[in-house]
């Protein structure tokens, strides 16, 4: 059965050459496989919070401005 499924799937890619008969379960399985859309490639989520020292820099700058060292 697996060989018929592979043969019918390959036959569909080759333009129908070697496809199984319409009443054959292999042909129905191949048609069902073609019904699914291709999967999207997986992509990582966009980067965020890459600079972990940014809050520290902001706090130091705020304190230096509050004490008059920065304008």
Residue 57 within a domain? no
Per the domain annotation, does 44 fall within a domain? no
For residue 14, the SS3 value is coil
47 part of a folded domain: no
What pLDDT is recorded for position 17? 46
Please enumerate in sequence order all residues whose Cβ is within 8 A of that of 29, keeping only pairs 6 or more positions apart, or say none.
5, 8
pTM score over 0.75: no
Indicate whether 9 belongs to any domain. yes
* The residue to which tokens 């809050």 are assigned: 55
- CB distance 9 to 2 below 8 Å: no
The tally of domains found in the chain comes to 1
Domain-located, residue 10 = yes
Per the structure, the complete domain to which residue 15 belongs is given by: 2-35
Question: How would you write the pLDDT of the chain (71 residues) with one tens digit per residue?
Answer: 778 878 777 765 555 444 445 567 777 777 777 777 888 888 988 887 778 899 999 999 999 999 999 98
Contact 27, 19 (CB under 8 A): yes
């Amino acid at each position: 059965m697996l060989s018929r499924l592979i043969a019918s799937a390959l036959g569909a890619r080759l333009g129908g050459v070697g496809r199984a008969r319409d009443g054959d379960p292999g042909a129905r399985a191949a048609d069902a496989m073609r019904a699914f859309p291709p999967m999207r490639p997986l992509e990582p989520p966009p980067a965020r919070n890459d600079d972990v020292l940014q809050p520290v820099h902001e706090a130091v700058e705020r304190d230096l401005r509050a004490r008059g060292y920065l304008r």
